[in-house]
Amino acid sequence: MNFLEERILKDGIVKEGNVLKVDSFLNHQMDIALFDEIGKEFKRRFAGKNINKILTIEASGIGIACVAAQHFHVPVVFAKKAKSINLEGEMYVAEVESFTHKCKNQVIVAQKFLSAKDHVLIIDDFLANGCALQGLIQLVQSAEAAVEGIGIVIEKGFQSGGRMIRNLGYQLESLAIVDSMDAEKGTIVFREQGNE
Amino acid sequence: MNFLEERILKDGIVKEGNVLKVDSFLNHQMDIALFDEIGKEFKRRFAGKNINKILTIEASGIGIACVAAQHFHVPVVFAKKAKSINLEGEMYVAEVESFTHKCKNQVIVAQKFLSAKDHVLIIDDFLANGCALQGLIQLVQSAEAAVEGIGIVIEKGFQSGGRMIRNLGYQLESLAIVDSMDAEKGTIVFREQGNE
């Protein structure tokens, strides 16, 4: 069991409907020392990859991506979920369905911040059905940039996103993969991963 | 002139309508090494303050707050702008008017992450009319926590937010205060600050 799985067991709360609440350390209150460990582990898993930019999506991906970026010495770009009057000029746009908010969003990134020269590591906090992640991949492809890898903090292994993205050939690294949860018993089963 | 003012002159773009675009390094693409300098400077300006938590607001405050938090060794909580089904339980709520999006928002923080024991440093990227900041202060007050200070990256000194917040007695530190801008000439005038 790795540091993140231990933390999830300690502070995560399993709720009905396959909801895993980690808002005390990951996506509302944020434990920055933990984020630094997460960044170090992403660096280890993507060692040797030629990465010059990290792409994430607002809001809860940003903190993790920024702290992780210190281990890669690269800038972070975050995709925005709604059109802003300050986001002018040419933009890449992808459609994304949000499980949490039960609505469709556009994800947007300014074209000047993604180009064919970029080798991108995508980072996000959660992977479930993979809709947000597909949107981010689409943004990178629109720029003709390369997806060098995808780093996820927690993957819901019982949803289809991870399998789908791996089947597409991407190096997807999820630091914790939840294979099942039981809200009544409060138990969480993690998938064994070979590279720990 | 400090490191941030130099960077704004180098990479910031002045647009009509008193818009300062810093999206190449601050609030869309993010220069993490610069964020680390910003964090160091906040630590210097709030040296001696008893701070156990940083509060920011999604989305563009999060990255700065997380990197800055490494200099304070405290967790970060970010206020959310819209109600999410994953944000259950008791919440503090404040009303905020957004200049950028020309609409009213609620800002929300879960009550369990702000309490009367907390000594809070508020961090955000921009201060203009101060509406977002007032919302954050209101959240801290609702929790009966203490606002130990407010760290802003760029203040638009020609708008009323900064004066209003300082008049309320808060230690407000803006690393760059823009007193005027000229879109046609592309010039930016910064306010001289004594503590540099």
Tens digit of pLDDT for each residue in A126-174?
Answer: 999 999 999 999 999 999 999 999 999 999 999 999 999 999 999 999 9
Chain B residues in contact with A86 (beta carbon < 8 A)? 19, 21, 23, 100
Q: Which two tokens stand for residue B41?
A: 């400077």
Query: In this model, does residue A102 exceed pLDDT 80?
Result: no
- The answer to whether residues A118 and A153 touch, using CB atoms and an 8 Å cutoff, is no
pLDDT of residue A194: 74
Query: What are residue A35's phi and psi, to 5 degrees?
Result: -60, -35
- Taking the Cβ of residue B83 and every Cβ of chain A, the question of whether any pair is shorter than 8 Å is answered with no
**CA dist., res. A41 & res. A53, Å (int):** 17
Whether the Cβ atoms of residue B38 and residue B67 lie closer than 8 Å to each other: yes
Task: Give the pLDDT confidence score for residue B87 in this predicted structure.
Answer: 53
Backbone angles phi, psi at A168, to 5 degrees: -80, -5
Q: Around Cβ B49, how many Cβ atoms within 10 Å?
A: 14
As for the ipTM of the complex, it is: 0.93
Residue type, B125: D
B116 touches chain A (CB under 8 A): no
Q: What is the pLDDT of residue A196?
A: 52
* Residue A67 to residue B67, Cβ atoms within 8 A: yes
Is residue B146 within 8 A of residue B14, CB to CB? The reply is: no
Q: Does residue B84 have a pLDDT over 70?
A: no
Convert the pLDDT of each residue in B44-62 to its tens digit.
Answer: 999 999 999 999 999 999 9
Question: Using the beta-carbon criterion (under 8 Å), do B101 and A78 form an inter-chain contact?
Answer: no
Q: Among A131, A87, A76, which residue's Cα sits nearest to residue A105? A: A131
Strands (E), chain B: 13-15, 19-21, 29-30, 53-57, 76-79, 91-98, 103-110, 119-127, 146-156, 172-182, 187-190
Of the listed ranges B80-94, B112-126, B131-145, the least confidently predicted one is B80-94
The per-residue pLDDT of chain A, averaged, comes to 93
Among candidates A31, A66, A112 on the partner chain, residue whose Cβ is nearest the Cβ of B67 = A66
Angstrom distances, CA of residue A160 to CA of A128, A129, B61: 7, 5, 32
Share of chain B above pLDDT 90, in %: 86
Report the alpha-carbon distance of residue B131 to residue A71 in Å, rounded. Answer: 35
Give the span between the Cα atoms of B149 and B152, in whole angstroms: 10
Give the distance from residue B54's alpha carbon to the nearest chain A alpha carbon, in angstroms.
10
Q: How far is CA A112 from CA A26, A143, B11, B151, in A?
A: 30, 9, 13, 29
pLDDT at A91: 92
Instruction: Tokens 């773009």: give the residue.
Output: B13
Would you call B33 an interface residue with chain A, using a CB distance cutoff of 8 Å?
Answer: yes
To probe the interface with B, which of A51, A62, A64, A70 has the most B CB atoms within 10 Å? Answer: A62
Q: Write down how long chain A is.
A: 196
Asked if A85 is an interface residue toward chain B (Cβ–Cβ < 8 A), one would say: yes
Give the model's pLDDT for residue B83: 54
Q: How far apart are CA A146 and CA A101, in angstroms?
A: 29
Return all residues near A21 (Cβ < 8 A) that are at least 6 apart. A12, A13, A14, A15, B86, B88
Q: Where residue B105 falls among pLDDT bands split at 50, 70, 90?
A: confident
pLDDT for B186: 93
Residue B101: pLDDT over 60: no
Comparing alpha-carbon positions, the chain A residue that sits nearest to B29 is: A77
Task: Give yes or no for A10 touching B (CB within 8 A).
Answer: no
The pLDDT assigned to B163 comes to 97
Indicate yes or no: CB of A58 within 8 angstroms of CB of B63: no
Token pair for A1: 């069991």
- Evaluate if residue B85 carries a pLDDT over 80: no
pLDDT at residue B99 greater than cutoff 70: no
Contacts of B69 in chain A (CB under 8 A): 30, 32
Q: Is the pLDDT of residue A85 over 60?
A: no
- Answer for the pair A42, A123: CB distance below 8 angstroms, yes or no: yes
Is residue A77 less than 8 Å (CB to CB) from chain B? yes
3-state secondary structure at position A166 = helix
Taking an 8 Å cut-off on Cβ atoms, the answer to whether B76 and A24 are in contact is: no
The predicted model gives A47-58 an average pLDDT of 97
Query: Can you give the pLDDT at residue A86?
Result: 53
Average pLDDT of span A52-79: 98
Interface test with A, best of B71, B77, B86, B115 (most A CBs within 10 A): B86
Q: Is A115 on the interface with B (CB under 8 A)?
A: no
Does the distance separating the beta carbons of A80 and B32 come in below 8 Å? no
Domains within chain A, CATH numbers bracketed: 3-190 (3.40.50.2020)
Given this model, what pLDDT does residue A106 score? 87
